[in-house]
Amino acid sequence: MVMKKIILSLIISCLSIVGFSQTPTEDLGVQWETKTKDFNTIKIGTVAEFTFKVKNVSKVPLFKYTLTPIKPGESGSVTASYSTEGRPGFFYKSIRVTFTNGTVSDLMITGNASYDVIPSK
């Protein structure tokens, strides 16, 4: 019984070490123009779409989900969209972008889909 507890403790310790060693790095080598977009109130039925722009500030090419390289000093983009058709009310959507160097960036779009939208001046 004591031996089982010791073995179980060792297994849990090893898994914990592996888990901590693979923690994603936030924004290492990338520079976003913005990481959030609030659409405020938009008319229901429209598509909330925004293109996030990113620049590679590292010394090596970075790849994201499209596998298109962003060379050092160059820029790329990620487009996020949300259809409000049949979805009234507040929305909050997050987008996780993972690069091949282990960098993870969380982007966010928010807004409120409403039937009553007052035109902005």
pLDDT at res. 120: 61
Q: 28: pLDDT confidence band, cut at 50, 70 and 90?
A: confident
Q: 39: pLDDT confidence band, cut at 50, 70 and 90?
A: very high
Average pLDDT over the chain, rounded to an integer: 80
pLDDT digits (tens, 9 = 90+) for 69-91: 899 999 999 999 999 999 999 99
pLDDT at res. 117: 72
Question: In whole angstroms, how far apart are CA 35 and each of 10, 12, 51, 59, 100?
Answer: 40, 36, 10, 22, 19
Provide the whole-model pTM: 0.72
pLDDT for residue 5 is more than 60:
no
Domains and CATH numbers, the chain: 24-114 (2.60.40.10)
Give me the residue label for tokens 């598509």: 47
